[in-house]
Amino acid sequence: MSSDPQALVPVTDWAALVPELMVSDLTRSLDVYTRLFGFVVNYTRPGFAYLSLGRVQWMLEQVRPDNSWLTGPLERPFGRGINFQVQTPDVHALYQRLLDIDYPIFVPLKTSRYAEGDVIHEQTEFLVLDPDGYLLRFTD
């Protein structure tokens, strides 16, 4: 990644909530998020990248020891106790792409049913860990 800020695909509509994940190796994480998971890089600056996948927006930041936003030590797996649901354009194609390269699957592809009052919603989903152990639930 260049040390100069880069705008690659402009963001035209900012999401109201955008997770920013601290990562141990930004170059590796960018490769996984873009090449494997299908995210697009919107812009970068040294140690930082802003990504999107459809309406999902995401930030990755290289861990720095002097980062004043760290609330405690980062120990693998990062993000314990949280999973991020990410709607993807083709959950089956993404799942197959990860299987084809033997990417570790945390929970295999399945159809789940979730109640919203009296309404039952179905979604196809699977779960993986990113390179630092953040749990991602990709859905249709």
pTM, two decimals, is: 0.87
Distance CA 50, CA 60 (A): 7
Residue by residue, pLDDT tens for the chain (140 residues) are 444 555 567 777 899 999 999 999 999 999 999 999 999 999 999 999 999 998 899 999 999 878 778 888 888 999 899 999 999 999 999 999 999 999 999 999 999 999 999 999 999 999 999 999 999 999 99
- CB < 8 Å & 24+ apart, contacts of 112-121: none
What domains appear along the chain, each with residue ranges and CATH number?
6-65+76-139 (3.10.180.10)
Give the residue from 67, 17, 14 showing the smallest Cα distance to 43: 14
Distance CA 127, CA 48 (A): 25
